[in-house]
């Protein structure tokens, strides 16, 4: 491919702001109630089941059997899922566009429901610019499981030491590093640009 390190991106928290509380605040009158619902009913661990391949309608139906009085709010997590999204992280999109313009291959490894992934394609134009994407919901593996990095390397014929993985989750970065990849813990696009330049990627200094 190229002697330059191959950038491999996470999506949520790196390209687009994602937080279920954006939706839950609309469903409940107080911040306390919305937070309780997020911590006790529609939890991050429950959401990970979709990232691992669970069908939304099934996962929603199962959870409603445990919390029937909240059926409307649980169903909203599926039907109004787009409202869990905030803004695009424009600085990351600009970095990605620069890399694509320089003909650097770029990839993504994302914890994502395959159903929601497909639904975002028309609205997230940066997705089609990747040379390949590993979607956890299609693999039945979620980060930080090191097997997902192995799947990526085998599928696209790259060695881990030739990749730099960018994620906003420290455990995911730690796992990628143990697998042999370079890792950048994403905090903001300015720091990411600086670190990628430091690793030899052909980006403009800003």
Residue written as tokens 């491999």?
Answer: 8
**Digit-coded pLDDT (tens) for 101-117:** 999 999 999 999 999 99
Q: How many CB atoms lie within 10 A of CB 125?
A: 10
Domain ranges of the chain: 6-17+87-198, 19-84
- Give the confidence band of 84 by pLDDT, cuts at 50, 70, 90: very high
Alpha helices in 28-122, H assignment, sequence order: 31-40, 44-51, 56-66, 71-79, 90-101, 114-120
The Cβ-side half-sphere exposure at 110, using a 13 Å CA radius, reads 24
At 95, the pLDDT band (50, 70, 90 cuts) reads very high
Instruction: Output the pLDDT for position 59.
Output: 98
Confirm if 117 and 110 have CB atoms less than 8 A apart: yes
> What is the percent of the chain where pLDDT is above 70?
99
pLDDT of residue 3: 76
pLDDT per residue as tens digits for the range 25-42: 999 999 999 999 999 999
Which residues make beta-bridge pairs with 166? 9, 184
pLDDT band (50, 70, 90) for residue 206: confident
The answer to whether the predicted template modeling score (pTM) of the entire model surpasses 0.85 is yes
Query: With contact defined as beta carbons under 8 Å apart, do 18 and 12 qualify?
Result: yes
Pairing of strands 6-9, 163-167: parallel
Contact 109, 15 (CB under 8 A): no
How much of the chain is in helix, strand and coil states, percent to nearest 5? 55, 15, 30
Percent of the chain predicted with pLDDT > 90 = 97
pLDDT digits (tens, 9 = 90+) for 13-24: 999 999 999 999
Q: Which CATH architecture has domain 6-17+87-198?
A: 3-Layer(aba) Sandwich (3.40)
Average pLDDT, the chain: 97
Q: Which pLDDT does position 1 carry in this prediction?
A: 41
């Amino acid at each position: 491919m190229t002697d330059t390190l191959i950038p491999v991106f996470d999506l949520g928290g790196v390209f687009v702001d994602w937080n279920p509380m954006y939706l839950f605040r609309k469903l409940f009158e107080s911040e306390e109630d919305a937070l309780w619902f997020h911590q006790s009913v529609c939890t991050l661990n429950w959401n990970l089941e979709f990232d691992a391949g669970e069908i939304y309608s099934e996962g929603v139906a199962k959870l409603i059997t445990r919390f029937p009085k909240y059926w409307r709010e649980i169903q909203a997590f599926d039907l109004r899922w787009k409202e869990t999204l905030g803004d695009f992280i424009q600085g990351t999109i600009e970095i990605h566009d620069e890399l694509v313009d320089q003909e650097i291959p770029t990839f993504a490894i994302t914890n994502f429901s395959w159903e929601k992934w497909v639904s975002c394609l028309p609205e997230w134009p940066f997705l089609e610019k990747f040379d390949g994407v590993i979607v956890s919901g299609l693999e039945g593996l979620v980060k930080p499981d090191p097997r997902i990095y192995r799947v990526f390397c085998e599928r696209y014929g790259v060695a881990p030491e030739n990749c730099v993985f960018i994620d906003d989750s420290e455990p995911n970065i730690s796992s990628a590093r143990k697998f042999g990849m370079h890792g950048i813990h994403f905090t903001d696009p300015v720091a990411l640009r600086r670190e990628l330049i430091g690793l030899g990627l052909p980006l403009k200094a800003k």
